[in-house]
A and B are shown apart, each in its own frame.
Chain A
Amino acid sequence: MKNSIHRLENENKFREFSSIFRIFIGLYLLRKVFFTWEFQELLVRGKYLSPQPASSILSLLHIDVNWFASNFEFFYLIYILLIFLFLFGIGKQLTVFFLYVFLEIIYDYNWLVLNGGDNLLEFVLLYFIFIDSYSRFSLKPLRYKNEKVARFSNFISNLAGYSICIHLCVAYFMSAIFKIHSDDWFHGVGMYYSVVAERFNGTSLNFLLVQSGLFVTVATYATIAIELAYPFLIWFKKTRHLMIVLAIMLHFGIAMFTMLYAFQFLFIFLQGFFITNNEWKRIFGILKNTFRWNKTRIRT
């Protein structure tokens, strides 16, 4: 136990990827604002909507629901400003805290258009309040003069980083359990209904592919197998990379066939938390060299 605590204090294990993921979160939230903006009038001030019950955060802040509904543009303005501060790493954890509060308030009025990805992102943002994600792409990295404070910051940051990993595992595991419990998935036909429903009929191939019993059965059971195995095998060095590749393939397939793009890309990006700092440094090194090599080639 003591050794594990020391290890968590010595180094921020998510230093490299958390910086990249901070940018991803910022862009994800901006994208959501951009595409839901035209419906805000309907979602918040729809002609026949009765005032919704106050969200817990609005109640805690003693803000009247009707006041929010008539001034939601103002809330959005601050929310967008916070996203930009977050993107540039300004205000560090304090900015993330306020961003989380505003996200909760805004999501309370947008819950009808939220998917599993948005739900998971709420939790990831909560964990980001504790993560030091400012080593890259930040105007100023976090530095502590006191060694003890720095070690405690690493410890907290690592607990929050592992929380993201655990949350991903919980999502997969529960999804597998519920699928096994569902008759259609249990009997190997769950994939058929999921990809032929009009809402999720992502490609013209969907109807054609489900004509093959083999495809439907293999795809159904493979989905359950990956979701069930992932939470266990992702923690072992020998099976980690295989699980990451399988998860990426699964999400890429779901995105393509069911049109749930942002949701699936979030899950794909989250896989990065299972890649170590050293591996990320190597990846950055390769990218840097490729970029330099291309630059030289263009000049010559």
Chain B
Amino acid sequence: MRRFFICASLCLFFLYWGTTFLYVAPKNSVFTPFFEENSAFRYFIGQNWSLFAPPPKDNKKLYYTFYRKNSTETRTFEVLESLLKLKISNAPFNSSESVRDFILSNSASNVIWWSENYFKVEHEKSDEHFSEEEALTQKTEFIESAYHFQMLKSYAVLVAKEHNISLDDYDFSFRLAKIDIPDYEDRKKLMDEEYVFEEHPVFESEKFSLEP
């Protein structure tokens, strides 16, 4: 009996580690198909150790614009830059700012990634051809149905409350932009206080209502 339990434990141990090792290994044609999206493997042994590889190549900006109903008044706030400044100035006691940064930066990265790569990924998946307008509608629907987009949209309520903006009287939209980190060869630009880093707009949402 004792021998049985020891053998069973060892078999489980090696099976678990074999599977985990194959899961975390770089994508390949033999083993990757076993770990498809939504598979039980992915849920129970899901992990990713490509820490900082590839490293980040840009900084992000996230703007919320609030439009007063029946008026031309608008108010715009950039939320990431001020948050990161606070995170840096409060370091190492910046856990609250870090959590907020994770929510916003991860969501922003995902929306940016899909708005830049949607067509490439979809083209690989299917051979169907759509008109440009249809394709754009599909892309917008896809991005808007994603959790990351909905998170940025939900965050607008917090921004409105922080700036005493009445939820009943305003609509809102948000937009995302990227600022490239200077190439390694141009790293002196980081020390040049007069250098202006160019912002590249990447995504702009439609207008939504803030009403509860």
Chain A residues with CB under 8 Å of chain B are 5, 31, 35-36, 38-39, 42-43, 46-50, 52, 55-56, 112-116, 119-120, 123, 148, 152, 155-156, 159, 163, 166-167, 170-172, 174-175, 177-179, 181-185, 189-194, 196-203, 207-208, 210-211, 216, 259, 261-262
Contacts and interface: CB of A to CB of B under 8 A. Distances in A.
Given A42-B155, A112-B107, A211-B191, A199 B51 contact: no
Contact of A5 (B6, B95, B147): B6
Nearest to A180: B53
Given A113-B103, A170-B24, 9 more contacts: A56-B40, A119-B47, A152-B5, A178-B50, A189-B184, A197-B56, A197-B58, A211-B190, A259-B92
Interface in B130-181: 145, 147-148, 150-151, 153-155, 157-158, 181
B102 interface: yes
Nearest to B58: A197
A181 B53 CA distance: 8
A130 to B, nearest CB: 9
B98 A200 contact: no
A208 B84 CA distance: 19
Contact of B55 (A46, A113, A166, A193): A193
A226 to B, nearest CB: 13
A114 B40 CA distance: 20
A interface: dominant SS: helix
Interface of B: 2, 5-6, 9-10, 13, 16-17, 20-21, 24-26, 40, 43-44, 46-59, 80-81, 84, 87-88, 91-92, 94-96, 98-103, 105-107, 145, 147-148, 150-151, 153-155, 157-158, 181, 184, 187-188, 190-191, 208, 212
Q: Which residue, of A43, A189, A196, A208, has the highest number of chain B Cβ atoms within 10 A?
A: A196
Contact of A46 (B52, B58, B151, B191): B151
A194 B55 contact: yes
Contact of B26 (A36, A177, A185, A192): A177
A113 to B, nearest CB: 4
A35 B102 CA distance: 12
Given A181-B26, A198-B59, A259-B91, A42 B158 contact: yes
Contacts of A197: 55-56, 58-59, 181
A196 B52 contact: no
A82 to B, nearest CB: 20
B190 A178 contact: no
B170 to A, nearest CB: 14
A55 B40 CA distance: 11
A174 B6 contact: no
Given A52-B147, A56-B40, A31 B95 contact: yes
